[in-house]
Structure 1
Amino acid sequence: MSNTTSSDQLPETSPTALPRRLTLLQGTALNMIDMVGIGPFVVLPLVIKTLGGSQFLWAWILGAVVSLIDAFVWAELGAAFPQAGGSYNFLKISYGEQRWGRLLSFLYVWQTLIQAPLVMASGAIGFAQYASYLMPLEEWQRKAVSGGVVLIIIALLYRKIDSIGKIGLIMWGAVLLTLGWIIFGGLSNSRIPLSETLQSMGSASGGLLAAGLGQASVKTIYCYLGYYNVCHLGGEIKQPTRNIPASMFISIAGIAGLYLLMNLSVISVVPWQIAQNSEFIVSTFVETLYGPKAAQLATILVLLVAFSSLFAVLLGYSRVPYAAAADGQFFRIFARLHPTKQFPYVSLLFLGGLGFVFSLLFRLGDVITAILAMRIVVQFVGQAIGLLLLHRRRAAATFPFRMPLYPLPVLLAISVWLFVFFSTGLTFMLSGLIVIGAGIGAFLASAVIRKQWPFEKT
């Protein structure tokens, strides 16, 4: 017998219940604006420098493939357990709610309290960095801009979810407009033949390509992250067994196409030798085609896209501590919903507040790699293994969505994520493991105080 709770059975009248008001279109829009932030515009030169020449396009293709494979895992879990919190619930249910599932889900929330504000900070710092194209900014001014962006996003999210869905559609339009302008402008004014670019993709030896592909793909995968944002909002999605998987696959296919076309467009105008050293590659690209005034407008659109992404990021992550608290596994204050607007305002203010502080303390630097290294073991690998465990205990009929060729996509997802984890390098691998170790220590200390597993009396 399945323990899965369907959307029709969720306690909508509970004081901690979230209303299901997000449609497939709104969920897809929130996914896509989460995926397209400042990342692709900042990462593009870094990836080119890592691989050199047009071979860097393989890193973007690999990022799309990894996302697609992993989306099958998220789709099965998201359709079966459409609740707020995403991975928190997936890990808890997969490994057993009384023992190991309690530990794994605690570790995920623990990491979220660190990584979610870091993700916010990285986007806000990147926003301030790109804004300096419009006007020279001193260091304190950049910090003021990055901190101000976080505060504005908190204010915009302090409202009902149906209003947020409408705001998300407007921001989605800005994302499509920006990428569409870049793609059309470059491909219609190409200065470097597309055939020459595609031919050079296969010119590097397999060994040389593989040597840098892992390191480069760490950064491109970061630009795809967010395709699962709809799972964090699972308790607010209409018809979740259909709309959660559909929104993820639509998002990945759409963003992968836009990313590849954008990259082809940029290097068809700006030679890769110049592009790899540009801090404002999109601005440089547009300035080359249309002049400084147009480049300033393009920069404003890039900033709007980055802002939209941070909006979706904080929206999704604010539901994670809420879900754990509503489940009795975290501080109860995080389970509070706003009395009239019905959203987890304590969780929103806490994560947003930390994001504000982090945006003032850190530099962009290697934050992207650190964020990914921190998440792989518990979240991505952990829940993929958890899905295998679930299939051993539950009948196939309990999964509304079934991936093709099971368990091959799950095994591929585990293998690829481990490859990416090792590609982050020893320093970042250790930092991720240290966070996990600290989380285990915090869990054990809490279990001792509350006399819960593994210290409960038999």
Structure 2
Amino acid sequence: MNQPELSRRISLVQATAINMTDMVGIGPFIVLSVVAETMHGPSFLYAWIAGAFLSFIDAMVWSELGATFPKAGGSYNFLKESFGPRTGKLMSFLFVWQTMIQAPLVIASAAIGFAQYTGYIFPLGFWETKAVSGMVVLLIIFLLYRNIETIGKISVLLWIGVLVTMVWIISGGITHGHFLEPVKHINDGLELNYAFAAALGFSSVKTIYSYLGYYNVCHLGAEIRMPEKNIPRSMFISIAGITVLYLCMNISVASVLPLERIEKSPFVVSEFIQVLSGHTAATVATVLILWVAFASVFSATLGYSRIPYAAAQDGAFFKVFARLHPTKNFPYVSLLFLGAVAFVFSLLFKIKEVISAILAMRILIQFISQAVGLIMLSKKKGRTFFKWRMPLFPVPAILAIIIWVGIFISTGVHMMLAGAGVTTAGIIAYTIKKRLFTEKL
């Protein structure tokens, strides 16, 4: 009897749709106000530009590794291959270790944001809000419990909803007649000093969160058609498209609402539409924003469910996670576990608590170590080894490392300690696991 296997069914369009729906989640609608409040001036647009720049150069790292190692699990394989037999096993284990915590946090953050925006249509109490966020996670698991070809089609449908929502928001600002005003005044009161640099750093933590997901296609590497071409293409198309959408959305909102209102509003985009077209239109816009948030959770959960599966299949994680559904060929144990943890997190935390925690846990192992590993692997294998090669290597990789270090510091002392603590606990767990395994041998 043949064992079920992952199959390459996801096209470039579907891969791009999966990336973009992951990127445009509830993040930009929630953090728009937070970024404006932190920067406290029209220069808040620079934080969105900074997020796009980091995403673009970091995508070069992901593109080289993703095109060369197109397997399920993404960073799990990248770290294992880059750091060699000994250190690679530790690094890949640490990635899976932190993924089992931060992946449910990512899923929960989108679900919590979904519940927050629902409050614009139906005022919700504490328990009602928790119930909504929990139900979102459960519905996502239900929709993902099927084969990848069907999921690819669902992703395109959700992507269309994302684009319709963003185009509506942007066109509202353009037709209002003052679209370029925020751009003209972007440097008003701007002083290039430590205060600006600190504010930009703290704001970039939030904007980077909104860009995360450009690499989701790498986690699905074993299911992408022509991965050496489509993995890099889908990432750069996604980042370029999302950058334009984010900047235009922020400019549109700032061209209609005063900065003071933007900074204080929990439903800033809904209020933006209300000013332009009335309460009914704002309600419709809010429903579309909820569509976007739902699509993001769908895409993120899809990608993350492949990571424990890849590690377990490789013998580096609990064997039960290597199981594929006997008829639908997807890692159902991994999906159900991450969904269950995300459900609990969605009931426990608030949106602002999880954004910094998500980044702090991921930066050390996934982003910084991955870029370092690429440089090491290039020295060992040579540049011709890679199926896709970044221009000006290693400059983009080094720049990405430097900026990620800055973002890590900007998450704050408590989050830095939490991220380091999770990594330390993972090293201890790996050491215990290795010794127990050695003793059994």
Q: TM-score range by the shorter chain?
A: over 0.9
- CA drift at 1:193: 6.1
Q: Does 1:25 align with 2:13?
A: yes
Q: Identify the residue that residue 283 of structure 1 maps to in structure 2.
A: 270
Question: Map of 1:150-299 to 2, 5 A cutoff?
Answer: 150-190=137-177, 192=178, 194-195=180-181, 197-201=183-187, 203-207=189-193, 208-299=195-286
Residue 129 of structure 2: aligned partner = 142
Answer yes or no: is 1:106 the counterpart of 2:93. yes
Aligned partner letter, 1:41: F
Do the aligned partners of 1:19 and 1:235 also contact (CA within 8 Å) in 2?
yes
Show the 5 A alignment for 1:327-338: 327-338=314-325
Aligned equivalents of 2:52 and 2:200: distance in 1?
13
Conservation of the 8 A alpha-carbon contact between 1:50 and 1:215: yes
Q: Give the 3-state SS of the residue equivalent to 2:436 in structure 1.
A: helix
Aligned pair partner of 1:320 in 282, 295, 307: 307
Distance (Å, rounded) in 2 between the aligned partners of 1:145 and 1:340: 31
Query: Structure 1 residue 66 and structure 2 residue 50: aligned?
Result: no
Q: Offset at 1:396?
A: 2.1
Deviation, 1:398, is 1.6
User: Of 33, 52, 74, which aligns to 1:45?
Assistant: 33
Count of residues in Structure 1 that have an aligned counterpart in Structure 2: 440
**Is residue 2:402 matched to residue 1:415?**
yes
CA distance in 2, matches of 1:395, 1:232: 24
Separation in 2, partners of 1:355, 1:271: 36
**Superposed displacement of residue 195, structure 1:** 3.9
Secondary structure of the residue aligned to 2:121 is coil
What is the aligned partner in structure 2 of residue 370 from structure 1?
357
- Residue 383 of structure 2: aligned partner: 396
Q: Please report the TM-score for the alignment, with normalisation by the length of structure 1.
A: 0.94
Alignment partners' CA distance in 2, 1:259 and 1:330: 38
How far apart in 1 are the matches of 2:74 and 2:296? 18
Tell me what 1:10 maps to. none
Per-residue CA distance 1:256-275 (angstroms, 9 max, x = gap): 00000000000101111111
Gap runs ≥5 in structure 2: none
Q: CA deviation at 1:72?
A: 0.4
Shift of 1:210: 1.4
**Higher deviation after alignment, 359-368 or 49-58:** 359-368
How far off is 1:145 after superposition?
0.5
Alignment RMSD, CA only? 1.4
Q: Give, as a single letter, the amino acid of the residue that structure 2 aligns with 1:205.
A: E
Letter in 1 for 2:40: G
- Amino acid in structure 2 at the alignment position of 1:19: S
Q: Is the 8 A contact 1:37 1:307 kept in 2?
A: yes
**Alignment correspondent of 1:90:** 78
Distance between the aligned counterparts of 1:428 and 1:170, measured in 2? 36
CA distance in 2, matches of 1:196, 1:117: 36
SS of the equivalent of 1:201 reads coil
Q: Report if the CA contact (8 A) 2:182-2:255 is conserved.
A: no
**Residue type matched to 1:292 in 2?**
H
- Larger deviation: 14-23 or 256-265? 14-23
Aligned partner of 1:61: which letter? Answer: I
Secondary structure class of the residue paired with 2:324: coil
Alpha-carbon distance in structure 2 between the residues aligned to 1:198 and 1:352 = 45
Answer yes or no: is the 8 Å Cα contact 1:16–1:335 preserved in 2: no
Question: Counterparts of 2:201 and 2:363 in 1: how far apart (Å)?
Answer: 14
Shift of 1:211: 2.5
Contact 2:27 2:209 in 1 (8 A): yes
Matches within 5 A, 1:377-392: 377-392=364-379
Query: 2: distance between equivalents of 1:170 and 1:426?
Result: 41
> Per-residue deviation at 1:203?
3.5
Query: CA 1:196–1:103 in structure 2 vs 1: closer, same or farther (change >3 Å)?
Result: closer
Q: Aligned partner of 2:421: which letter? A: I
Aligned residues of 2:17 and 2:155 also touching (Cα < 8 A)? yes
Report the alpha carbon displacement of residue 365 of structure 1 after superposing the two structures with TM.
Answer: 2.7
TM-superposed deviation, 1:194: 2.0
The runs of 5 or more residues in structure 1 that have no matched partner are 1-12
Secondary structure of 1:132's counterpart equals helix
> How many percent of aligned residue pairs carry the same amino acid?
57
Q: Distance in 1 between matches of 2:424 and 2:2?
A: 36
CA contact (8 A) 2:4 2:326 kept: no
Return the offset for 1:412: 0.4
Per-residue deviation, residues 164-183 of structure 1 (Å, max 9, x unmatched): 00000000000000000000
The answer to which structure has the higher helix fraction is 2
User: Cα offset for 1:199?
Assistant: 2.7
Once the two structures are superposed, what CA deviation does each residue of 1:419-439 show, in whole Å capped at 9, x if it has no partner?
111111111100100000111
Shift of 1:14: 6.7
Contact 1:218 1:424 in 2 (8 A): yes
